[in-house]
Each structure stands twice: as structure tokens, then as C-alpha cells.
Structure 1
Amino acid sequence: MLELRHLSKSYANARPVLANLSCRFEAGEFIAIMGDSGVGKSTLLNLIAGLDTPDTGAESQPILIDGIAMSSLDDAAATRLRRARMGFIFQAFHVLPHLTLLQNVALPLLLNGLPQERAASMLEAVGLSGRGGDFPQQLSGGEMQRVAIARALVHKPALVLADEPTGNLDPETAHGILQLLRAEIKANGSCAIMVTHSLAAAEMADRTMILTRNGLQNTTPAPKMRETLS
């Protein structure tokens, strides 16, 4: 579903952040990526989404989604691919303040020309039933994070990119949200990549990878929580 081929990224000061990453992620997989702060986890998500540009040239095709090289797409085509095939959960939420909660969640459906009924059910799924007419300024940080999660999942994207999706949630709410995320991934045959510092969150994934300066390394998954969900 997603393939990284010798992906590298350096910042303007020439400090390498990611170097020669190669990895495959399959449909139906829920992957947790952990690692020290500053190692490039959020940068990796931005590169996969096409929101940042890798160092390697277009001819090397370092990022492929369903066999499509992101480097081969112009801005309009990349936007269409993101809109239809991806769901994003950002640390900063990016909930639109001038739209109601229901309108925020329904936005991917609207942009993709899909029926909007699922927006209300996704708000209910994240514990915000009856709040569809509220505006983001009426919410806590944790509630805004749940809106962002509902919006990312509502159009059943093929690829979900989640940057610390439970960072503002209490443990009980976080567990429920991760159960929802896992259930949606499995039901829709999606691929999800979750950056997290939480060991409890990582236990919900199919496998955990550690990002270091030497690349992405598989670890032995902790099966305890996964077995209760299978």
C-alpha cells in the first residue's frame, strides 16, 4: 500500500533528519512509530503526505502510495490524492473555527462528493453525540482532538496518518479512541501509521517500529492488548 524507498530529508542547515529509509506498509496494518524527540517522526508523516519534500530527486521515487510516486504528482494531483485517499490527525488539530463540529467532520465527505450522513455517526463514535451544532471555541483540547479524529476517519481513507492522536486525552478516553481507530482500519482495509510516545497506545498497533538516526527498526509487538481486541 505504502512503500518508502531510500527516503532522506535534511533541513536547511544540512542536518540530516531522515537518511535512506526503506520500508513497506500493507493495507490493513496498524503501525505505531516511536522514537526520541527530534528524531524525525512528524517529519516522516509530513513527507508521506506530500506536505514536505524529500531530498531525493523525483527520478528515485522515494514515496509510493498504491504504486503512485508522490514525486510524480503536481500540486493539484497531490491535493486530490490526499483528499480522497488520506486521513490526517495532527497534533495541532487544525479544526476550522468558523465551522460547526458537524461541518468540520463532514468536510472530507463534502470535498469528495460523498453522502454526509456518516459525519453524525462519527461524532457519536468519538463521544460527542449532540454536539454537532457547537463551534470549536466551545471545546476543550481533548474534545478538539476527538473532532479531528472523527474528521480523519469519516471518509474511510486508505491511509491514516496520526501524529500523537491521544496526546490530549485521558487514559480511558484514549483507550476508546484507539479501539475506534483500530476497528475502522480493520473494517475498511486501511493502513494507519501512528506516531506516539505512549507505550499503551503502541500496544494497540499490529506492530511497533522505532525510528532512530539509523532508520526504522521493527520491535517485537506487545500482544497483550491486541489479543483482547481480536
Structure 2
Amino acid sequence: MLELSGLTKTYGGRAVLSNLSHRFAPGRFVAIMGESGVGKSTLLNLIAGLDAPDSGEVIVDGRPMSALDDDAATGLRRTRMGFIFQAFHVLPHLTLHQNVALPLLLNRSGTERAEAMLAAVGLGGRGADFPRQLSGGELQRVAIARALVHQPALLLADEPTGNLDPETAGGILRLLRAEIRATGAGAIMVTHSHAAADMADEILLLTRDGLQQA
């Protein structure tokens, strides 16, 4: 489903990723760990097509991302991917229900599942609230519900438990696993947390030399 071929990305003259290649097996929950600054978040952005590599290819469902125009890439992200951003990117002018339902609306689907996902992340009954009424941990849970609501084929998660206490983090990770198992989706989670990584099927370590088994 997902293959990286010779990915290189440079910022300010420094190669963050250099000739990175890896093939991800379909339907696997993969955790990626590594030191700060090694390029973990950059890698997720490249996979999602939110940034472009200097060279190399991200191949999703057999199609190179570079071969897609903007509309096709946006459509692929909208229908096939879910992204949990480290900075949440919850829209402040929308209610929690509207934020979570957004992927469903964009895909012209019914929005009933939005309330169920809010309940699944511990925010049931708060759909009419606005993001300004929430703590950082609660905002993170809204972002997780939004990423899962349309049952994506590929979930990309950047430190999805970074603002959560250990008990809540455990519940969220179990939810991620359950959703992935129910749909047969693949998932790639960047994390510094060994407890979070232990919930994955596979742990990879990103270093200057590439991805390797941890």
C-alpha cells in the first residue's frame, strides 16, 4: 500500500532525510521512533503529500504522489488518509461536532459517526462546545476523533498521545488499534513514548542511515 523510494529532503542546506527507502506492509500499525530532529514529522508530511521531497518517490496504492496534480492529491488525502497533527489544527470557529464531521462532509457522507467518535475519545455530549473551551489534551482528542471518523485506509499520527496523561493515552491507543483492526487500515505513528510504541505491531527506528527495526 505504501512504499518510499530514495526519499531525500533538505532544509537550509541540511539533509533531513537522505535516500530513504522502505516498504510498509498493508494493514500494519507501525511506530516510528528516533531522536529529535531526525526527520520523523517531515517523513509523515512527505507521505501525506503535504510537502514534496527533493528527490525520490512516495508511492501510495501503486501511484507515485508526484504524478498526482493538486486536486488528485487532495482527493487522495481526503478519502484515503487520516492525519493526527502534533499541533492539532482544530478549527476554532467550528464546534467540536463540526470539526470531527468535516472529513465526512468533504466526502459527502452522513455525519452521524461524528458524535460516536467524540464519545469514543471521552468527549461525548460536548459536540456543541467550541475549541476555546477545551484543554490541550481535549483538543488532541478532537483531532484524533476527526482523523478516524471517515475510517481512512492509512492513518498518519504525529505524537498522538503527547498531551495526554498515561491513563487517557492508554485508552486512546487502544481505540486506535481497535479502529485499525476493524477496517484493515495501515497506520504510521511517530512517537517518543515507548509505552505508545509498544501498542504497535512493529517499531522502526529512524536514524541518519534510514529506517531499521528497533
- Scaled to the shorter chain, the TM-score interval is over 0.9
Counterpart in 1 of 2:47? 48
Which of residues 120, 139, 147 in structure 1 aligns to 2:115?
120
2:99 match: secondary structure? helix
Q: One-letter code of the match for 2:91?
A: L
CA-to-aligned-CA distance 1:149-205 (integer Å, 9 cap, x gap): 000000000111100000000000000000000111111111100000000000000
Counterpart in 1 of 2:9? 9
Q: Alpha-carbon deviation of 1:20?
A: 1.1
Separation in 2, partners of 1:3, 1:184: 22
2:132 match: secondary structure? helix
Pairing 1:25-40 to 2, within 5 Å after superposition: 25-40=24-39
Separation in 1, partners of 2:44, 2:91: 21
Pairing 1:138-217 to 2, within 5 Å after superposition: 138-217=133-212
Q: Alpha-carbon deviation of 1:146?
A: 0.1
Separation in 2, partners of 1:20, 1:218: 17
Structure 1 residue runs of 5 or longer lacking an equivalent are 220-230
1:177 match: secondary structure? helix
Separation in 2, partners of 1:14, 1:134: 45
Q: Alpha-carbon deviation of 1:27?
A: 2.2
Q: Alpha-carbon deviation of 1:110?
A: 0.3
TM-score, normalised via structure 1 length = 0.92
Counterpart in 2 of 1:136? 131
Counterpart in 2 of 1:107? 102
Q: Alpha-carbon deviation of 1:26?
A: 2.2
Q: Does 1:83 align with 2:78?
A: yes
Higher strand share: 2
Q: Which runs of 4+ in 1 moved over 6 A?
A: none
Separation in 2, partners of 1:25, 1:185: 15
Separation in 2, partners of 1:125, 1:42: 26
Aligned length: 214
Q: Alpha-carbon deviation of 1:28?
A: 1.4
Q: Alpha-carbon deviation of 1:33?
A: 0.3
CA-to-aligned-CA distance 1:1-48 (integer Å, 9 cap, x gap): 10001111111x221110111111122100000000000000000000
Q: One-letter code of the match for 2:10?
A: S
Q: Alpha-carbon deviation of 1:105?
A: 0.3
Separation in 1, partners of 2:3, 2:181: 20
Counterpart in 2 of 1:20? 19
Separation in 2, partners of 1:26, 1:149: 23
Separation in 2, partners of 1:197, 1:133: 33
Structure 2 residue runs of 5 or longer lacking an equivalent are none
Q: Alpha-carbon deviation of 1:88?
A: 0.6
Q: One-letter code of the match for 1:101?
A: L
2:192 match: secondary structure? coil
